[in-house]
């Protein structure tokens, strides 16, 4: 098997084609799967970017590990395909296998964690190589983990922000796709800083997805 990546020519699609090859050729699609656990404002911002025509993609499914997460309720209202996979009491590898099984039929080009409060197993990452994205409310590698905005304030940094990255099996680690800086203001509280960072998250995530999707990959198996 070989994997060829090339830039898409804006006018004519791919500037090169592979021929004389008998294997299966699978073009990468533009389907996004969303994983979330909470209010889902990042998911909603991605949905809005698609609706406005800024992001040429389609949300193929929204999966939540929390039954009444705001994000999955909204996705249902919008008529998107939603899947609830409860995680309470389920061991990580077993849970991630269920996630993989749920996602596979959709064949997503990217899997976007949008406030999905779980660390993914190596098996999950291997099932969707370089296709899992995450957003985190700090300038990684600073302040990974929970309460990143609180950590930034406690440290006393003057600039924080948010990061979209490809996820690996670590916590908030993996290659950075895009970042946005946000100034920490005198008198900022965790809430006020979080709010300004979130505003940037909503604008940067869909752009990072667009950039990732534009790295079109033609796979020859």
Nearest alpha-carbon partner for 139 in 201, 181, 80, 170: 181
Residue 114 interacts with ligand GRF (CB under 6 A): yes or no:
yes
Q: Taking CB under 6 A as the rule, which mask of x and - marks residues 77-106 in contact with ligand GRF?
A: ------------------------------
Residue 121 interacts with ligand GRF (CB under 6 A): yes or no:
no
- Binder to ligand GRF among 14, 28, 31, 38 (CB under 6 A)? 38
Residue 42 interacts with ligand GRF (CB under 6 A): yes or no:
yes
Residue 174 interacts with ligand GRF (CB under 6 A): yes or no:
no
Residues 178-207 that bind ligand GRF (CB under 6 A): 198, 201
- Binder to ligand GRF among 41, 65, 82, 121 (CB under 6 A)? 41
- Binder to ligand GRF among 135, 140, 153, 204 (CB under 6 A)? 135
Query: Which stretch of DSSP H or E encloses residue 44?
Result: helix 41-52
Scan for tokens 């990072």, then name that residue: 208
Q: Percent helix, strand and coil across the chain, each rounded to 5?
A: 35, 25, 40
Q: Among this protein's residues, is 136 annotated catalytic?
A: yes
Nearest alpha-carbon partner for 35 in 122, 89, 106: 106
Nearest alpha-carbon partner for 46 in 203, 163, 155: 203
Residue 144 interacts with ligand GRF (CB under 6 A): yes or no:
no
Residue 62 interacts with ligand GRF (CB under 6 A): yes or no:
no
Residue 161 interacts with ligand GRF (CB under 6 A): yes or no:
no
CA distances from 87 to 8, 67, 135, 176, 180 (A): 39, 10, 21, 28, 32
Query: Which stretch of DSSP H or E encloses residue 83?
Result: strand 82-84
CB of 88 closer than 8 Å to CB of 67: no
Whichever of 115 and 218 has its CB closer to ligand GRF, that residue is: 115
The residues assigned a catalytic role are: 136
- Binding site residues, ligand GRF, CB under 6 A: 36, 38-42, 71, 114-115, 135-137, 198, 201
């Amino acid at each position: 098997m070989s994997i060829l990546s090339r830039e898409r020519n804006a006018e004519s699609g791919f500037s090169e084609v592979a021929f004389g090859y008998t294997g299966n050729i699978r073009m990468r699609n533009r389907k996004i799967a969303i994983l979330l656990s909470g209010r889902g404002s990042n998911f909603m911002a991605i949905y809005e970017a698609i609706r406005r025509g800024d992001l040429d993609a389609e949300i193929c499914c929204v999966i939540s590990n929390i039954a009444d997460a705001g994000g999955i309720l909204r996705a249902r209202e919008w008529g998107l395909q939603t899947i609830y996979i409860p995680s309470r009491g389920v061991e990580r590898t077993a849970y991630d296998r269920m996630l993989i099984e749920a996602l596979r039929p959709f064949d997503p080009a990217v899997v976007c964690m949008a406030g999905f409060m779980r660390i993914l197993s190596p098996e999950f990452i291997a099932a969707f190589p370089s296709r899992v994205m995450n957003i985190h409310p700090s300038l990684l590698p600073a302040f990974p983990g929970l309460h990143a905005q609180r950590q930034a304030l406690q440290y006393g940094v003057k600039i924080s922000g948010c990061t979209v990255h490809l996820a690996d099996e670590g916590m908030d680690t993996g290659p950075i796709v895009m970042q946005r800086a946000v100034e920490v203001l005198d008198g900022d509280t965790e809430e006020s800083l979080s709010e300004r960072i979130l505003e940037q998250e909503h604008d940067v995530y869909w752009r990072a997805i667009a950039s990732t999707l534009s790295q079109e990959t033609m796979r020859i198996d």
